[in-house]
Structure 1
Amino acid sequence: MLWVKAFHIVFVASWFAGLFYLPRIYVNLAMVTPGSVAERERLLLMARKLLRFTTMLAVPAVGLGLWLWLGYGFAGGWLHAKLAVVALVVVYHGVCARLLQQLAADDCRHSHRWFRWFNEIPVLLLIVAVVLVVVKPF
């Protein structure tokens, strides 16, 4: 089970790295000067590739987490809270995908400031998840 736990941590860290950077690309997309087609297309390409790669990292992260949950049979309030945080991370990932569709269709009206705040959400979710796993406050 230690191998499963080790790879779970690696995939979670990698997944979050993508979630940390993807909205930064959105910040840059929101700041593209109208008419800068090449810059916009380059950023959209980067965002699409990063979203695809991040999604490929999320699948084993969640799968190995389920394996750990079923293998250890953890119970308690901290685990229920952590599972809620995982659900929020999955929702955030989905929102990132939806925002990319809107940005690609030039149908997203969020400002670069909004995306800067949006970019902080995975940091907060990661902090909460780590505290729940390590401290097990309840």
Structure 2
Amino acid sequence: MGDFLLNWYFWIKAFHVMSVLAWMAGLFYLPRIYVYHVEATQPGTDTDATFKVMERKLLRAIMNPAAISTWFFGLLLVFTPGVIDWSTIWPWTKGFSIIAMTIFHLWLAARRKDFERGENTLSGRRYRMMNEIPTILMVIIVLSVLVKW
């Protein structure tokens, strides 16, 4: 298995990076859609229905597959011999941040269900604040991987 992963390392890494980009785009955009949904619509209107479709398609067609492929290719990289030195701090900070990013993704999915049921209780301001979480986690991940502290 190690030889296979080493032979395909650059391809795996490329697909991992593409998956991360797609996932991050969704993590940045979905909370922003929630802001507009809260501030520009009333439950039961045509605009409300349009936002629900946008949110569902973004989450199910882009974010979920991107998150799964990010994890898949990332785990392949983890198991590639010689890629990670577990005695350093960076794989642990990256791992913690990825888990936090996944929890944030799941939180966004739960909020989408709240909108779907007409039970959202959060304000546009709260979604704006939550929109900063993926940025903070992205900074930690990128610094961890590139600086390897």
TM-score range, shorter chain: over 0.9
Aligned twin of 2:79: 70
Q: Structure 1: which 5+ runs fail to align?
A: none
* 1:8 paired to 2:16: yes
Q: List structure 1 segments (4+ residues) > 6 angstroms apart after TM superposition.
A: none
| Aligned mates of 1:109, 1:81 — CA distance in 2 | 32
| Aligned mates of 2:75, 2:34 — CA distance in 1 | 31
* 1:96 paired to 2:104: no
Give the 5 Å matches for 1:41-56: 41-52=49-60, 53-56=62-65
Aligned twin of 1:106: 118
Q: Deviations over 1:56-113 (max 9, x none)?
A: 1111111000000001351122101110101001100000000001111121211101
Quick one: structure 1 residues 35 and 89, their matched pair in 2 at CA, closer, same or farther if it must change by over 3 Å? closer
| Aligned mates of 2:48, 2:99 — CA distance in 1 | 31
How far did 1:36 drift?
6.3
* 1:28 paired to 2:36: yes
| Aligned mates of 1:72, 1:24 — CA distance in 2 | 40
| Aligned mates of 2:65, 2:11 — CA distance in 1 | 19
The 8 Å contact of residues 31 and 130 in structure 2, kept in 1 or not, is answered as yes
Aligned twin of 2:143: 131
The 8 Å contact of residues 13 and 77 in structure 2, kept in 1 or not, is answered as yes
* 1:37 paired to 2:50: no
Whichever of the two has the greater Rg, that structure is 2
| Aligned mates of 1:2, 1:35 — CA distance in 2 | 48
Quick one: structure 1 residues 85 and 35, their matched pair in 2 at CA, closer, same or farther if it must change by over 3 Å? closer
Counterpart code for 2:125: R
How far did 1:122 drift?
0.6
SS of 1:133's equivalent in the other structure is helix
TM-score, with structure 2 as normaliser = 0.88
**Deviation larger for 24-33 or 96-105:** 24-33
**Count of aligned pairs:** 137
Quick one: structure 1 residues 102 and 71, their matched pair in 2 at CA, closer, same or farther if it must change by over 3 Å? same
The 8 Å contact of residues 20 and 70 in structure 2, kept in 1 or not, is answered as yes
TM-score, with structure 1 as normaliser = 0.94
